[in-house]
C-alpha cells in the first residue's frame, strides 16, 4: 500500500475555547455600516453601544432619558465624552443605534466594535507558505492558535523524525511502530523515520509556530503522535523501494494503528485525537479496515485520508471508507491539482485543501516544498485540531460539519466530485464554530500576509479579498498614508518595490483592491 508523497512525475521538485460561556464573556454579532472609511460589515459587541450626549445634559438626565427607553448607562469613558450603554435584552445593535439616535439627549451613537490581537507568526519561511493565506489561517489565528492539551494529530505514516526542532517538542504520548507484515505493535519512542513522508505531513498539520524558526503549522499548539506503519529496512530516505523490498505497508498494520490509538482519545495526555492517513491503495475499503474505522468513529475520533494522486475518477482506500473525511488537492490558484483523484463520494464525505508545493518540515532538520494529496490531508487535520482547541465540547461530527459548511465553494456551484464540499477555509470554519457569524458575504476588508512584510525574508506579500469581491480581474494600488501612489499591481501579490523598481521604504502602506465585483481596502507594514 503506497503513501502519497511528492508527485515528481507530474510536478518538478522545487524549492474558542469555550464550551459554556461565563457570565462576563464578550458576545459578538455582525453589524453593517454604510458610511465612512469603515463601511462594510463589522464585528461588534452584542447588547452594547457607544453614546455621546449633547452638551449641557447632565449624567443624571442622560441616565433618566435612556432608562425611560429601556437602555442603561453602564459607564463613562474618561476624557472622551462617550458612555457605554447596555441595550434591552434581545435587541440587535442595529436596532439599538436607531432608537438611541432618535433620543433628544443623544448627540451621537456608535457600535462598540470588537478588536483582536494581531497574531502573525515570526517563522522565517511563512512567506513561502501560500497555502496559509489561501485558507485564511492568519485570520483564524486571531481567534485560536491551538492548544497542547486539547487536540493531538496522530500521523499513521512512515514515522516522524523526532529530532526535527519544529516537531520534537510537539510529540506526546508513546509513539508506536506496527509491523507491516502482521501489524504487531511495539514502542518507537522517540519515533524514528523510515523515510521523509511522515515528517513532511506532520509539519503541515502542526509544526511549531511563532518560534522564529522554519515554517508554521496550521495548528500552532496541537500535539503530535507518530504511528509508524512502514519498516525502515524497506525504504530509502526519499521513500523509494530498497532492493528486494517494497517501501509500503499493509491494511492489517493500518487497522492495528487505528485500533491502538482509540483508547487515547479524550485522555488527559492527548485530548481529542485526529487521525491523518496520507497513504492509500486502489480499490474499495475492505471489511477489516472499515471495521477499524467504524470503531474509531464510534469512539469519537475524527479521521482524514488523502484522496490519491493518480488523476483517477475513484478515490483510493482508506479515503473511501465510511466515516473518513477524504481530502483532495488544490493548487495556489484554487484549481484542482492535476493529480488529485475525484469521486462522487467527495460530494458528501470530502473536501479539498492546498496540496501543490506545500513548504514543510523534512528529515535531517530541513525544509522542502512537497506536493500531493498527502499534504492536503494533514492541512485539514490541522484545521480540525485548531477547531477542537477552540471548541473542546464539540463532537467529531460537529468539527467535520464546521469544516464542510464553511468551505469555499470552487468549481460548479454546490458539492461536486472534483472539490467535494469545497476548499477548506480556516477563518470561516472557526467563526462558524464559535458562533461569531453564519454569514460570510459582504465583508469589505482586504488582508495582506505576512504582515509585517519583510521583502528580504518573505519575498512576496499576498493580498486576500472577500468572497464577494473575488473575480478573474483585479487591480491593486499601494499608497502611502498621505495618499501618494507607490505601486500599481495586476495581481494580488507585492514584492515591496515601487513603480520605478526601487524598494519601498519601511513604513505603513494602504492598499485598495478593485475587481469587477467591487473594491476593498486594507493596510500593511513593510520593514526593510
- Active centre residues (catalytic): 157, 197, 374
Distance in angstroms (rounded) separating the CA atoms of residues 168 and 192: 11
Long-range contact list for 229-233, CB < 8 A, 24+ apart? 229/156, 229/157, 229/158, 229/177, 229/178, 229/180, 229/253, 229/254, 229/257, 229/279, 230/3, 230/157, 230/158, 230/159, 230/180, 230/194, 230/195, 231/179, 231/180, 231/194, 232/159, 232/192, 232/193, 232/194
d(C-alpha 513, C-alpha 488), whole Å: 10
- Strands (E) located in 1-160: 28-33, 40-53, 72-77, 82-86, 106-113, 151-157
Other beta carbons within 10 Å of 73: 18
Which grid coordinates are listed for 316?
Answer: 483510493
Cα→Cα distances 34→43, 85, 95, 104, 114, Å: 14, 22, 15, 23, 18
Instruction: List the grid coordinates of 519.
Output: 473594491
Measured CA distances, 425 to 379, 470, 515 (Å)? 11, 15, 21
CB 332 within 8 A of CB 299: no
| SS3 assignment, position 232 | helix
Beta-carbon neighbour count of residue 483 at 10 Å?
Answer: 7
Smallest CA-to-CA distance from 424 within 470, 381, 368, 361 is with: 381
* Residue listed under C-alpha cell 438611541: 100
Residue 192 has, within 13 A of its CA and on its CB side, a CA count of: 12
Angle at 363 between CA 461 and CA 450, to 5 degrees: 10
Amino acid at each position: 500500500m503506497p503513501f502519497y508523497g511528492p508527485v515528481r512525475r507530474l510536478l518538478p521538485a522545487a524549492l474558542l475555547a469555550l464550551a459554556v460561556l461565563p457570565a462576563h464573556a464578550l458576545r459578538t454579532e455582525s453589524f453593517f455600516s454604510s458610511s465612512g472609511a469603515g463601511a462594510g460589515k463589522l464585528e461588534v459587541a452584542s447588547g452594547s453601544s457607544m453614546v455621546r450626549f449633547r452638551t449641557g445634559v447632565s449624567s443624571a438626565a442622560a441616565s433618566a432619558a435612556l432608562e425611560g427607553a429601556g437602555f442603561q448607562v453602564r459607564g463613562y469613558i474618561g476624557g472622551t465624552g462617550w458612555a457605554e450603554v447596555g441595550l434591552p435584552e434581545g435587541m440587535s445593535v442595529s436596532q439599538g443605534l436607531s432608537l438611541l439616535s432618535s433620543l433628544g439627549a443623544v448627540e451621537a451613537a456608535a457600535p462598540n466594535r470588537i478588536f483582536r490581537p494581531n497574531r502573525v507568526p515570526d517563522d522565517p519561511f511563512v512567506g513561502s507558505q501560500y497555502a496559509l493565506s489561501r485558507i485564511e489561517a492568519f485570520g483564524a489565528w486571531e481567534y485560536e492558535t491551538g492548544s497542547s492539551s486539547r487536540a493531538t494529530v496522530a500521523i499513521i505514516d512512515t514515522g516522524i523524525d523526532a529530532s526535527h526542532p519544529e516537531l520534537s517538542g510537539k510529540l506526546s504520548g508513546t509513539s508506536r511502530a506496527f509491523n507491516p507484515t502482521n501489524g504487531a505493535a511495539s514502542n518507537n519512542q522517540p519515533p524514528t523515520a523510515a523515510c521523509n513522508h511522515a515528517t513532511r505531513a506532520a509539519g503541515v498539520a502542526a509544526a511549531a509556530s511563532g518560534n522564529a524558526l522554519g515554517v508554521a503549522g496550521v495548528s500552532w499548539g496541537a500535539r503530535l503522535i507518530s504511528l509508524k506503519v512502514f519498516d525502515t529496512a524497506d525504504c530509502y530516505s526519499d521513500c523509494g523501494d530498497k532492493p528486494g523490498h517494497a517501501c509500503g505497508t499493509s491494511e492489517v498494520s493500518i487497522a492495528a494503528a487505528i485500533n491502538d490509538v482509540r483508547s487515547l482519545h479524550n485522555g488527559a495526555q492527548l485530548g481529542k485525537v485526529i487521525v491523518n492517513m496520507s497513504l492509500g491503495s486502489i480499490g474499495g475499503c475492505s471489511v477489516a479496515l472499515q471495521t477499524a474505522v467504524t470503531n474509531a468513529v464510534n469512539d469519537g475520533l475524527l479521521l482524514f485520508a488523502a484522496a490519491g494522486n493518480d488523476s483517477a475518477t475513484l478515490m483510493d482506500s482508506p479515503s473511501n471508507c465510511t466515516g473518513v473525511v477524504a481530502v483532495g488537492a488544490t493548487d495556489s490558484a484554487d484549481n484542482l491539482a492535476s493529480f488529485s483523484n475525484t469521486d462522487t463520494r467527495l460530494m458528501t464525505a470530502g473536501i479539498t485543501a492546498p496540496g501543490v508545493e506545500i513548504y514543510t518540515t523534512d528529515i535531517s532538520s530541513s525544509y522542502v516544498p512537497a506536493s500531493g494529496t498527502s499534504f492536503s490531508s494533514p492541512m485539514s487535520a490541522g484545521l480540525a485540531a485548531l477547531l477542537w482547541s477552540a471548541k473542546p465540547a464539540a463532537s467529531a461530527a460537529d468539527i467535520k460539519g464546521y469544516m464542510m459548511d464553511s468551505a469555499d465553494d470552487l468549481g460548479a456551484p454546490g458539492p461536486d466530485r472534483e472539490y467535494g464540499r469545497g476548499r477548506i477555509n480556516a477563518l470561516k470554519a472557526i467563526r462558524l464554530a464559535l458562533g461569531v457569524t453564519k454569514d460570510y458575504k459582504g465583508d469589505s476588508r482586504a488582508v495582506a500576509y505576512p504582515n509585517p512584510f519583510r521583502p528580504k525574508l518573505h519575498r512576496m506579500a499576498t493580498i486576500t479579498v472577500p468572497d464577494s469581491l473575488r473575480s478573474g480581474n483585479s487591480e491593486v494600488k499601494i499608497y502611502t498614508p498621505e495618499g501618494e501612489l507607490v505601486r500599481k499591481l495586476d495581481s494580488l501579490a507585492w514584492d515591496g518595490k515601487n513603480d520605478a523598481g526601487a524598494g519601498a521604504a519601511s513604513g505603513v502602506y494602504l492598499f485598495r483592491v478593485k475587481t469587477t465585483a467591487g473594491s476593498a481596502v486594507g493596510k500593511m507594514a513593510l520593514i526593510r
